[in-house]
Each structure stands twice: as C-alpha cells, then as structure tokens.
Amino acid sequence: MKTLKKLLLFTIVLQVVSCSMVRDEDGSDPSDPENQTENEIPSSLHFAFKTEDWERQIDCTHLDLDATNSELLMATSQSTGSKFYFVVPASSHQMALADSVGKYPVGTDGYFSMAQILPVSQGSEKRLKSEIGFDEEGSFNEIMSITLDSSEEAFDYYKVKGQYHMKMVGIEDESLKRTCSGTYHFKIKTAKD
C-alpha cells in the first residue's frame, strides 16, 4: 500500500512539474503573449497585460471605441486602474489596408501606435507609463489582423487583433522599471469614405 501511495504521489509531482515547464521546440514559453500567433490571441474582445508583478485580461465586450470622434482612442479599466491609448485611422478605407498589419512604435504619434499607464501592482498608488519608441524585439505594438465585422449606412466596424511589448518607467520615480506585454482584440467604429 505504501508503495502505491508513493507511486501515485510521484506521478502527481511529475505531472505538475511537466505542466509548469511547457516550452516550444525553440525553448520559448507559448503562454507568453509575445510568442502568440493571431489564432492564439483570444477571440473575445479584451485588453490583456502582464508585468513582472501582475497580469490581467480585461473584458472589452461593451467598450465603445469610436474612431469617428477621435483617432486617439483611450479607455480606463476601473477594476485595475490601467489606461491604454491606441491611435487608429477614422477612415474605413485606411483601416482596411492590408499593409496595416505589422509592427508599430510605442506611443501616440502615428496610426497603430499604442501606449498605456498602469499601477505597479493591483491597488498600488505607484504608476508606470510606456517608454516611447520602437525596438523590433523589445518595444512595439504589432497588428496581427484587421477584419470587417459589420457595416451600417455611414460606418464600418472593424475587429483589430494585436499584441505588444513595452518598456515601462515609473511616473513619480523614474528609477522604477518594468516590462509589459499583452494582447488585445478590439471592435472599432470607422467612417465610410
């Protein structure tokens, strides 16, 4: 009986260890947002972030992102205290361009650039902000897909999937440094030309 218990305990420990050590063939962690393909990004409307201190996925089902009012879209999460900024074209034609898929800078200076502010950890008064810039490996916003979701007489609604990786710095204390990565899937209203 003791041998059976030991064998069962060993099997459980082995399963737990092997589950926590899942890696792709190249050694990368497939659950890291930076290693996800478009199909691996959740299809639910969301905004997700992950830092060294915490991570969350925020439901964006009821978020009204209207580029016809302002090309600088922004939203604040009451539950996390985070805020993102995302720049998109107001024009349906520009939104639909195939060459829009790709990597863009962190910031708010051009189409498909993105930035954010978030607490260092859940409930923290200390805030981090995105460092502006572009680095192919460490600081970017990547548009994975843009698809037409629906149309009305004067408007088109697009679903935009993407992922990002940002260097973050403390707002009050610039010596505070973190990295932040995540995914998003937004529904955005644009104007027909």
- Residue-wise pLDDT for 95-143, tens only, equals 998 889 999 999 999 999 999 999 999 999 999 999 999 998 889 999 9
What b-and-e string marks burial along 6-27, b requiring 16 or more CB atoms within 10 Å of the CB?
eeeeeeeeeeeeeeeeeeeeee
Q: 43: burial class by Cβ within 10 Å (0-12, 13-18, 19+)? A: exposed
Q: How confident is the model at residue 39 (pLDDT cuts 50, 70, 90)?
A: low
∠ CA 80-82-86, nearest 5°, is 140
User: Is residue 26's pLDDT more than 50?
Assistant: no
Instruction: Compute the mean pLDDT over every residue in the chain, rounded to the nearest whole number.
Output: 85
pLDDT at 193: 79
Express as a percent the part of the chain with pLDDT over 70: 80
Asked if 181 and 34 touch (Cβ cutoff 8 Å), the reply is: yes
pLDDT: is 101 or 25 the higher one? Answer: 101
3-state secondary structure of 8: helix
Separation of alpha carbons 191 and 89, rounded Å: 9
pLDDT tens by residue, 139-158:
999 999 999 999 999 999 99
pLDDT at 19: 37
Backbone φ and ψ for 32, nearest 5 degrees, come out as -70, 125
Asked if 17 and 9 touch (Cβ cutoff 8 Å), the reply is: no
User: Which residue type sits at 84?
Assistant: F
pLDDT at 87: 98
Q: How confident is the model at residue 38 (pLDDT cuts 50, 70, 90)?
A: low
